[in-house]
Structure 1
Amino acid sequence: MFKNYLVTVYRTFKRHPSFLLLNVLGLALGIGCSVVIYLIVNYELSYEKHHANFDHIYRVTNGESASVPHPTGDALMADYAFVDAVAKIDYEYGGIIASWEGDNQLKKMEEQDGLVFASPGLFDVFTFPALAGNLKKAVAEPNSAVISDEWATKYFGIKDGNLDQVIGKRMTINSTLSVVIKGVFLAPPATTDLPFQLVVHYDNLGDFDSDYEDGQDWDATSSSTNCYVLLKNESNKDQLSSALPGLAKKYYGEEDDGNRFGLQPLSDVHFNPVFGNFGDRVMDYRLLGALVTIAFFLVIAACINFINLSTAQASRRAREIGIRKAMGGHKGQLRAQFLTETFFITLLASFFSLALAEVMLLELQDLLGYRLSVSVVNEPGLLAYLVAIVTLVTLAAGLYPSLVLSNMGPVAALKGKSFHGKGLRGISVRKALVVFQFMISQALVFGTLVVLLQTKFLQDQPLGFDKEAIITTWVPDQSAITALRERIRAVNGVDNVSFCIGAPLSSSNSHANFYEPSVPKEQRGDLGANFKAVDENYLSLFNIELLAGRNLRQADSASAIIASEQSIHGLGFQTPAEAIGAKVRTGYDDNVREIVGVVKDFHAQTLHQELKKVILLYYQPEFYTMAIKFSAGSSSAVASETIAEVESIWNETFPEFIFDYRFLDASIAAKYETERNLATLFMIFACMAVLIGGLGLYGLISFMANERTKEIGVRKVLGAGTFQMLLMFWREVAVLLLIAFVVASPLVYTLMSNWLNDFAYQIDIGLPVFISVFAVSLLVALVSTGYRSMQAASSNPVDSLRSE
């Protein structure tokens, strides 16, 4: 019997190759996209799963930040016996690393990632497989470090199997800190937000960062400082959660509300944008949910397309069905035959879908930031997914056509009138499926437009400062800045030079409270601001408007500040002029300072957040950044020559360091990379949905043309022209699209409005978006149905009426 089914399947495909091609194409698109999404979601969900204690590791949070004071970890271990282990971590995002063989320097490179200062507990909490030496003992003493096998090869040329050779070798960091390598560990996989390559004893942080001091300050935090704890029992987790308010009160005083510390599971670190992570990349759970939803609906759309194309073939196969039934074939056999056909089409489509998925993943690697591949060997779950998807698609796509075709009466089938009795109901089901299919494509087009418009809005929104023709670079030694400024200002093509903690919109901010000294402590409220250390050229270089008062100068380092409009409003002043001369005490350094100037508000953080209060002050020890503005109208050639000359001066000033610069406008644009990537993903999947929807419409028009062949012949005999026949088809299509639009629009509008709520500054989803979505759908419908509609409308009425 099964052999007979295979022969029938082969003959059917041979007689109707276009039917096979369209079905395989539609299913391959849907399944291929779902495979891509499966691999992306599976990759993202695998973060940190390589740690043996994954389910028992927690990060200590501090309010809405993961930054904690340096002594937090020591206090947890000293005060709570139920804490199994603590890892104090300070991750540094920049440093000049050099390797040495005796007095000979082997290699020197600037590293943006990989350098971490950590306590020995790091290796109790996390799983870093040791390849040489005892890792925990290796970092138990100052000036000791452990290195990954990846960096061992990179800096010492050590190959696998000879990693013991690196033990005892020396490395320097920023030419100020020398450490001895005492262990080697397996480099962490790509699926980690702890990308450690060189782990140095925690107390050596003072040799790297002067702000560390003795590491006992409870009032200072840094975005690079985290604390992780290992709690092997759920009861220990509950105990620590209950104890953390007491920890805050003990070290901050009884007036503390006790709510500053909390616990975040390791499983949440990769997905929570509030706290961030050292990998500097967060994948929002909602985006993963959206991708899974898109995958589901794309597969459903492909199944609908299959159903429409299959039932469109019904009249062509009516006589075959009639003969089989007349010869004793029963419904079960016919259903098995049609499901077998569906299975082989789905199986064939799945092979093509893997090729499509591989091409898509290759093209998406720059967007994703990692390379995935379709490999059952490297991804065993993929095989199970494919088996499941082929099975489900076979049932979802093949069940309805098999029921419809097997229920034909033999007499009616042999007369070719199989659908005249149940035709209206049949057409209604198909119309409903097409409506649902276009709801999917319209929703994705709608979402794509909204994300594209919001991304453009973010890029075009005024920020309150200039960002064009400006580069920024790190400054390793603040004592050399005076001479450096004068030399660089003299370079042809340089318009201005400023030293500061960071650009106006950057992650370089110090957050602290400020208040009038005369206000009692219990009445101060929570006036927090971003404090930025800047020099006297900062305002002019970034073109920040001074509304009242004067600029900062070097003599103001301990006595004056410039406040933003939001800051003075927080103090109760209505106009900038009123605030000039007011005294303010800051938590930044506990000094009482005078407001000498007020600047127009500018954005110190991305447009995801509301405009924040900003306070500028002159503080040379935190001039970690040099900003250089090029002269207006400089050509790219002149800019390149200017940068080359600046680099030459830099190398003379800091011969031990590497000149690494970034254009400010590009740095700001990178902060909205997630939105651009989302728009690209939406666009890709929207195009797939539209293409699948077009194939579905083609199937519906084919069915309508087959069922109304004689009606078309009668109309043409009575004088109807080809254009009138086309209007008859397109009118029905337009009605279906309108129904889909009316149903889908409110749903997707609500979803995208919720997404826009993540932004403090956002677009309004206006009428043009709705019109554009419907116009795109209508255009796709006309194009996809044009050929089949024209073929039916221009047919010869003699051919269609001959049998009558």
Structure 2
Amino acid sequence: MLRNYFTIAYRNLLRQKSYTLINISGLALGVASCLILFLIVRNELGYDNFHSKADRIYRVTLNALDFNSNISLAVAPALRNDFGQLEQVTQVYYERDGLVQIGEKRFNEKGFTFADDHFFKVFDYQWIAGDPATALSEPNAVVLTESLANKYFGNREVIGKVIRLNNQYDLKVTGLIKDVPSNTHLPFSFAASWKTIEPEYKRGMTNFWNIPGGSYTYIVLPENYSIRQLESSIPSFLKKNWGEDIAKEAKMPFQRLRDIHFDQRYINNIITPTGKETFWALAGVAVFIIITACINFINLATAQAIKRSKEVGVRKVLGAHRSQLMRQFLGETALLVIVSVLIAVLATHLLLPIAGQYMDITISTDQLSEPGVVGIILALTLGMIVLAGLYPAVVQSGFTPALALKSKLITPSSRGLTLRKSLVIVQFCISQILIIGTVVVASQMDFFRNQNLGFNKEEVLSFRFPSNDKNKVAMMRAELAKMPAIADISFSSGAPAYNNNFTSFSSKELGMLKNDVTELKFIDEHYMDMFGFTLLAGRPITEANKKDTIFNVVVNETLIHKLGINNPEEAIGKHITGDGDVSIPIMGVIKDFQSESRHKKIRACVMAYLPDAFNQVSVRIQPGQMRQTIAAIDQLWSATFPDQLFEYEFLDERIANMYKQEEKVYTAFQLFSAIAIFIGCLGLYGLISFVAVQKTKEVGIRKVLGASVWNIVYLFSKEFTWLILISFLIAAPVAWYAMHSWLENFAYSIAMSWNVFVIALAAAFIIAAITVSYKSIKAALANPVKSLRTE
């Protein structure tokens, strides 16, 4: 009997090729999209989950005037000394780039770390060679990742090989590990031993406020030990090691390892954190896609049911029970779904690397064979068989034999019609929510990229130089000035989007004893003109007199507002106090500019002239002469710093990288929303097919009485106008709430205007019109004689 069901199902599906093709393609596309989104969300929400002790690992952070992920190098030794109950304490010093030399070959490597010998006892990586317990116990030792080892040495044995780092350290390879998973807050290409650089930081390892950028400390709690116990001891720990003032002023929050990637309060993270809500939104899109695919199937199946009414009547007359017919129709659904899922898994295997590259995420296709993923696929398959097949099976098996044999089923019950139209309303709701979401996200991304930042970022190229040799600096400035394509040159501690120095300022004169973290930039006399800052009062930075011992600084609007001053002119001549209680006069005020991501409010900023702190060059290159000018700068660099490779970055690319996580999500949202809408169109096609069958005779009579093609098209279209309007009334408030909540993650965001909702409504009508027009025009052009003879 079961074999007979599947044989009949196979023959029916083969006979109705267009119906089968639309259903299989819709379901397969839906399942493949859902699987890809599931793996993306699983990857993003699973940051750092691969460590076996992930639930007991915490990062030690600082909260004084702001949340800072970096902390003094003095903290780790003190924690080991005072809290012997901690299972492990490790400190890490992260470098974003460095020069590696292997023989005559040189490489600029991005992202590596110096770590102590506790590092590999805290974090788990897959070891290929070496001993994790001792690999970093000696100075000048390094552990390479597999891809880097292949890049340097090919497939040869690497243990014992030597690499030279930054023309300063000869590091012996003591370990080899598999590449670090992409979903970690601490990505690195190699880990060198902390003891290699420890002597350089000895003096700063007692000062609590000496906090190098890139310094991180982690702890592992013993099992069954509450973090609350440790937190309660921190005030006394700070007081004992650094005095009562530090204990009053500073806090040391412990941040769960699994929370690091999602906690947007912190500055100085290696990877910009992204709120979990963003990834749950992608999961929501996956759910929408599956629901839309199932609705599509139901609408097509119920439209098809009319054509099979005589078959049902014959079977019932011959003694078939309703349960047998339900099993048959569910069997057909199961066959369709299983074939669709198999195609979807194959498509996912092929498309996942492309999707990963498109979104800048590395996800292995091996995950498709993991038990958890296989379980999800099986549950999805079973769920779709029930969700998509149950209602059509109930409808088809419930036909009355006499009416079915007389083909009197073209006017179904109003209840059935209401359900089918309700399903279309759900599809339109989903489509309009996704359209509104896509438009809002696109507008926010455009706001990030193109809104006025308070400075000119166009055609600016920046690069760091490795020496403070005044003669080399002067020579480089002179040679760059000779290049005709270079319009502007500035030396500084960092271009506007580079944040390297933070401090705090106060003003006893104005009664302000504390201030938030303040950005500190050291700039030359060309900086303000080159980047087009707006001077509101006073005078700009000029080259300081060598005899001057007092800084004169330019500050931004935010700083003077914190001083209680609203008129920039009133700030000129006022004094602020920096580190060491040095009183510094304000000589100028500039308009606020956006130096950090728009996730954060603009900080107070202080600019001063200090040539010893200049380590970056910024040049503006004339349009159309970029390639040859970069080549000329590279040649100048090689002559000036022959031991270094030339590395540069465009300022607008730097700014775009601040929103890399949002770009990834926007890309996925855009792509999969389009897929969901396309699948929804297939569902709408199913309902218009049903209506076309239902109104066959009506269309024939209207044509005989003189109705035009457009009259007939209108007859079909009006069925959907009110469905779209109802769905819009439901979708608009849901979409507004969801996108309003998303926009609240940013300190600066667009305002949601009524235009967004008009666009969504118009798009829904256009999508419906395109989908409905084919079937309705086909019905309108049909021969009325054939329509009237239809039984």
For the aligned pair, the TM-score class normalised by the smaller chain equals over 0.9
- Partner residue in 2 for 1:102: none
Matched, 1:20 2:20: yes
Q: Go from structure 1 to structure 2 and tell me whether the alpha carbon gap of 1:641 and 1:698 turns closer, same or farther (over 3 Å shift).
A: closer
Relative to the length of structure 2, the TM-score reads 0.93
1:59 is aligned to 59
Could you say which residue in structure 1 is the equivalent of 2:745? 758
Counterpart amino acid of 2:105?
K
Contact 1:550 1:596 in 2 (8 A): yes
**SS of the residue aligned with 1:90?**
strand
Q: Which residue of 2 aligns with 1:428?
A: 418
Secondary structure at the counterpart of residue 205 of structure 2: coil
Match runs of 1:227-376 below 5 Å: 227-251=217-241, 253-255=243-245, 256-257=247-248, 260-275=251-266, 280-358=271-349, 360-372=351-363, 374-375=365-366
**Preserved contact between residue 696 and residue 790 of structure 2 (Cα < 8 Å):** no
Query: Offset of 1:395 from its aligned partner?
Result: 0.6
Q: 1:215 to 1:643 in 2, by over 3 A?
A: same
Determine if contact 2:31/2:341 at 8 Å carries over to the other structure: yes
Q: Distance in 2 between matches of 1:345 and 1:800?
A: 31
Q: Aligned partners of 2:47, 2:115: CA distance in 1, in Å?
A: 21
Aligned twin of 1:529:
518
1:482-514 per-residue CA deviation (whole Å, 9 max, x = no partner) reads 2321222222222232221211122x2322221
Task: Provide the residue aligned with 2:212 in structure 1.
Answer: 222
- Name which of structure 1's ranges 723-732 and 39-48 shifts more when overlaid on structure 2: 39-48
Give 1:125's aligned amino acid: V
> Which residue pairs with 1:617 in the alignment?
608
Aligned-pair CA distance for 1:785: 1.4
Matches for 1:370-449 after TM superposition, within 5 Å? 370-372=361-363, 374-375=365-366, 379-418=370-409, 420=411, 422-449=412-439
Looking at structure 2, the residues matched to 346 and 225 of structure 1 have their Cα atoms a distance apart, in angstroms, of 53
Per the TM alignment, residue 242 of structure 1 is displaced from its structure 2 partner at its CA by 1.8
2:697 maps to what in 1?
710
Does the aligned pair in 1 maintain the 2:182–2:362 contact within 8 Å? no
Contact 1:241 1:262 in 2 (8 A): yes
Per-residue deviation, 1:141: 4.1
2:453 is aligned, of 459, 463, 467, to 463
| Range 249-258 or range 406-415, more displaced | 249-258
The CA distance in 2 between the partners of 1:81 and 1:223, in whole Å, is 27
Shift of 1:8: 1.4
Contact 1:83 1:231 in 2 (8 A): yes
Q: Secondary structure at the match of 2:283?
A: helix
* Equivalent of 1:95 in 94, 98, 121: 98
Contact 2:90/2:218 (8 A) holds in 1:
yes
Alignment match, 2:486: 494
Contact persistence 1:148–1:197 (CA under 8 A): yes
Amino acid at match of 1:475: F
Q: Match of 1:22, as an amino acid?
A: I
Q: Hey, what does 2:687 align to over in structure 1?
A: 700
Cα distance change of structure 1 residues 803 and 271 upon mapping to structure 2, 3 Å threshold = closer
Match of 2:105 among 93, 104, 107: 107
Q: What code does the residue aligned with 2:534 have?
A: E
Paired with 1:562 and 1:645, the residues of 2 have a C-alpha distance of: 34
User: Aligned-pair distance for 1:621?
Assistant: 3.6
> Is 1:176 matched up with 2:177?
no
Do the aligned partners of 1:559 and 1:591 also contact (CA within 8 Å) in 2?
Answer: no
Amino acid at match of 2:714: L
8 Å Cα contact 2:494-2:615 kept in structure 1: yes
- For 1:175 and 1:618, locate their aligned partners in 2 and report how far apart those are by CA, in whole Å: 30
- From 775, 782, 799, the counterpart of 2:762: 775
Deviation at 1:44, TM superposition (A): 2.8
Counterpart amino acid of residue 646 in structure 2 = F
The one-letter code matched in structure 1 to 2:496 is P
Decide whether the 8 Å contact of 2:294 with 2:388 is kept in 1.
yes
Moved more, 249-258 or 788-797: 249-258
Write out per-residue CA displacement over residues 510-566 of structure 1, whole angstroms, 9 at most, x where no aligned residue. Answer: 22221124467xx61334321112222211221223331342324457522211122
- Equivalent of 1:121, from 114, 118, 121? 118
User: Do 2:70 and 2:268's aligned partners in 1 also have CA atoms closer than 8 Å?
Assistant: no
| Correspondence 1:64-75 to 2 at 5 A | 64-75=67-78
Contact 2:121 2:132 in 1 (8 A): no
Describe the shift of the 1:134–1:628 C-alpha distance in structure 2 as closer, same or farther (beyond 3 A).
same
Tell me which residue corresponds to 2:543: 553
In structure 1, which of residues 664, 676, 679 is the aligned counterpart of residue 666 of structure 2? 679
Aligned residues between the structures = 782
Return the letter of the residue paired with 1:769.
V
Q: For 2:118, give the aligned amino acid.
A: G
Q: Secondary structure at the match of 1:515?
A: coil
Q: How big is the shift at 1:363?
A: 3.5
Contact 2:142–2:190, Cα closer than 8 Å, also in 1: yes
SS at match of 2:244: coil
Deviations 1:224-247 (A, max 9, x none): 111000112232423212222333
- CA 1:52–1:760 in structure 2 vs 1: closer, same or farther (change >3 Å)? closer
Contact kept, 8 Å, 1:552 with 1:560, in 2: the verdict is no
- What is the Cα deviation at residue 462 of structure 1? 0.9
Q: 1:534 to 1:198 in 2, by over 3 A?
A: same
How far the C-alpha of 1:276 sits from its partner, in A, is: 6.9
CA distance in 1, matches of 2:207, 2:220: 24
Partners of 2:721 and 2:144 lie apart in 1 by 65
CA deviation profile, 1:614-667 (whole Å, cap 9, x unmatched): 10122334322111122xxx342x332222222222112211111111111222
- Bigger shift: residues 6-15 or 439-448: 6-15
CA displacement at 1:96 relative to structure 2: 1.2
1:285 offset after TM fit, Å?
Answer: 1.6
Code of the residue aligned with 1:348 in structure 2: it is V
| More off after superposition, 324-333 vs 176-185 | 176-185
Shift of the alpha carbon at 1:199? 2.7
Q: Alignment partner of 1:473: what SS?
A: strand
1:308 positional shift: 0.7
Q: Aligned in 2, Cα 1:543/1:376: closer, same or farther, shift over 3 Å?
A: closer
Distance 2:533 2:35 in 1: 49
Structure 2 counterpart of 1:570: 562
- Name the TM-score, length of structure 1 as normaliser: 0.92
User: Secondary structure of 2:751's partner?
Assistant: coil
Partner of 2:188, secondary structure, is: coil
SS in 1 for 2:262: coil
Over 3 Å counting, the alpha-carbon distance change for 1:348 and 1:79 in structure 2 is same
Distance 1:699 1:43, change over 3 A: same
Task: Give the CA deviation at 1:281.
Answer: 5.0
Q: Distance in 2 between the 1:50 and 1:452 partners?
A: 33
Compared with structure 1, are the counterparts of its residues 392 and 557 closer, same or farther at alpha carbon in structure 2 (3 Å cutoff)?
farther
The residue number in structure 1 matching 2:505 is 514
Q: 1: distance between equivalents of 2:660 and 2:134?
A: 41
RMSD: 2.5
Call closer, same or farther: CA 1:568–1:557 in 2, change over 3 Å: farther
Using the TM superposition, name which of 717-726 and 481-490 deviates more: 717-726
**Displacement of 1:405 after TM fit?**
0.9
CA distance in 2, matches of 1:524, 1:775: 56
Give the Cα separation in 2 of the matches to 1:373 and 1:46.
14
What residue number does 2:774 align with?
787
Task: State the identity %.
Answer: 33
Cα distance in structure 2, aligned partners of 1:607 and 1:95:
29
Go from structure 1 to structure 2 and tell me whether the alpha carbon gap of 1:279 and 1:511 turns closer, same or farther (over 3 Å shift).
Answer: closer
